[in-house]
Amino acid sequence: MALDFSVLLRFQEALALGLWTTVKLTLICMVLGCTLGFLVGLARTAPSVILRGIASVYVEFFRGTPVLIQLFWIFFCLPLILGVELSNLASGVIALTLYMGAITSETFRASLKSIGREQLDACVALGLPKRAQILNVILPQAVLRAVPTLLSNCVSLFKESALVSAVGMADLMFVGQNISNNTARPVEVLTIVALIYFAIAFPLTRAVTLIEGRILKKLAI
């Protein structure tokens, strides 16, 4: 079989639109997921046993089940339970946000535990309200310590986002599959799609390593 990558020149715009959809979905779920993860991380370190238990069940469930099954359940089953219709975009955002929240919560939990108890005691001694403690003292330090792992989680999210093609969302993978079917050129098309994912994920992975080194040096760990 002779390979002919020139056939893809006709589909540059379609691939670009698919990539933009993938990037947009990743950014939305990254912001929502990291926010959720921080709140769940706080809940997992809370004094309340009930709150810690609920947070732990959520984390273990979404870390212990395949993202594809979670996506399918939200897309096919949740509308039947709620009696409302969910678009593939909404289903993708919900599924990936819940997944991102679960994996980043562990990152935040570890970073929160690394913050010295004396700092929290100082906040109490100064009479800072709980909100000020979280926003001005705990959050900045937790985020700084968590940045390298959070960036790795974001790269993983970018790659996992390809799963939304299974529910018909026109991301890069979905567009690639359609082009492959229409041109009967799966080798060329899927190779290019894989290379696009790699071209974005690999530099980000290398950047994570550099950032991690600088943060560790800054924290003198």
Model confidence at 128, pLDDT cuts 50, 70, 90, reads confident
Q: How confident is the prediction for the chain on average, in pLDDT?
A: 87
- Please indicate whether residue 174 or residue 124 has the higher confidence score (pLDDT): 174
pLDDT digits (tens, 9 = 90+) for 41-57: 889 888 889 999 999 99
Q: By C-alpha distance, which of 2, 11, 16 is closest to 182? A: 11
* Single pTM value for the model: 0.86
According to the model, what pLDDT value does residue 47 have?
Answer: 83
pLDDT digits (tens, 9 = 90+) for 101-125: 999 998 888 887 777 677 666 777 7
Instruction: Please say if the pLDDT value at position 151 is more than 90.
Output: no
Q: How many other β-carbons are positioned within 10 Å of the β-carbon of residue 90?
A: 15
